[in-house]
A and B are shown apart, each in its own frame.
Chain A
């Protein structure tokens, strides 16, 4: 039973999916943050908007 050969592709797929999902989520946070920043920059200036939307 030791080292079932069928397990390796599932294990590799699991790690690849984990890293891909985490990378996708961070990318999505970056993109949404950039969208929000652009929206605030294009809006009339407010004292708080400038200080709270500095780049990541």
Chain B
């Protein structure tokens, strides 16, 4: 398959999805801010849970998508898997950074520090560095096939850290609490958390559609530039 054959999401549907996503994310934030009471022990700062947990979830989902797309690329050598992988990696970086910042904002009033070398925080920071490195490596390669191959390998090896991040709170003694689940939270908190997780997942679908369209367009630009440069050489 050549780049000109790549499938493109429908722009009209993406716009509709964007509007729906905005409404659902706004509803989720409003519910987290105004609908549920503040936590009895932590106070108002506990409301950060409704954005921190969905951001962390999307980070892990994104890097899982990078892993799957990277495997598919190495098997099929179809550029669409590479473009989906880079789209997911970029979005994953945004949400990993967001989860770290939100965690830090929660940590200062709760733990008394902005940052500590806790296993969950440290492995998450390493995860962020791995995928920033993934994008940096891509920027070094001029040849699209070589770039896709290198980044697919990093996308597969780098994913090793993702289950470590998830399991870090179970494997080691950490300041960070174990994964939040319906069993560890009261009902009203669970519903709002699930609403926000669903809203952010919808947001993820929207961002992936937009980012993938951009990746295809940028590959067209690159292909045109390479064709033009080849013409000059010959």
Please report A residues at the B interface, Cβ cutoff 8 Å: 1-8, 10-11, 13-15, 17-19, 21-22, 25-26, 29, 32-33, 36-37, 39-40, 43-44, 46, 48-49, 52-56
Residues of A within 8 A of B40 (CB): 1-2
B98 interfacial by beta-carbon distance below 8 Å = yes
Compute how far the CA of A2 lies from the CA of B38 in the bound complex, rounded to whole angstroms: 8
Residues of A within 8 A of B220 (CB): 36, 40, 48-49, 52-53
A-B contact pairs, 20 of them (CB 8 A): A1-B40, A2-B40, A4-B42, A4-B109, A5-B43, A7-B43, A7-B46, A14-B48, A14-B52, A17-B101, A25-B207, A26-B207, A29-B207, A29-B210, A32-B218, A33-B217, A37-B217, A40-B221, A46-B224, A48-B4
Number of interface residues of B (CB under 8 A): 44
Which residues of chain B (1-38) have a CB below 8 Å from chain A? 4, 6, 8, 11, 14-15, 25, 29, 33, 38
Is the beta-carbon distance between B221 and A36 smaller than 8 angstroms? yes
- 14 new A-B contacts, CB < 8 A, other than A8-B45, A14-B51, A43-B221, are A1-B41, A3-B38, A4-B42, A6-B109, A10-B108, A11-B105, A15-B48, A22-B203, A26-B210, A32-B214, A46-B224, A49-B220, A49-B224, A52-B220
Residues of A within 8 A of B106 (CB): 10, 14
Compute how far the CA of A46 lies from the CA of B12 in the bound complex, rounded to whole angstroms: 23
Compute how far the CA of A35 lies from the CA of B32 in the bound complex, rounded to whole angstroms: 37
Which residues of chain B (102-123) have a CB below 8 Å from chain A? 102, 105-106, 108-110
Compute how far the CA of A17 lies from the CA of B207 in the bound complex, rounded to whole angstroms: 18
Identify A36's interface contact among B52, B101, B214, CB under 8 A. Answer: B214
Compute how far the CA of A26 lies from the CA of B94 in the bound complex, rounded to whole angstroms: 11
Residues of B within 8 A of A5 (CB): 43
Please report B residues at the A interface, Cβ cutoff 8 Å: 4, 6, 8, 11, 14-15, 25, 29, 33, 38, 40-48, 51-52, 55, 94, 97-98, 101-102, 105-106, 108-110, 203, 207, 210-211, 213-214, 216-218, 220-221, 224
Residues of B within 8 A of A44 (CB): 224
In the assembled complex, the CB of A26 is this many whole angstroms from the nearest CB of chain B, namely: 7
In the assembled complex, the CB of A9 is this many whole angstroms from the nearest CB of chain B, namely: 9
B41 (CB) vs chain A CBs: closest residue: A1
Residues of A within 8 A of B38 (CB): 2-3
Residues of A within 8 A of B224 (CB): 39-40, 43-44, 46, 49
Residues of B within 8 A of A14 (CB): 48, 51-52, 101-102, 105-106
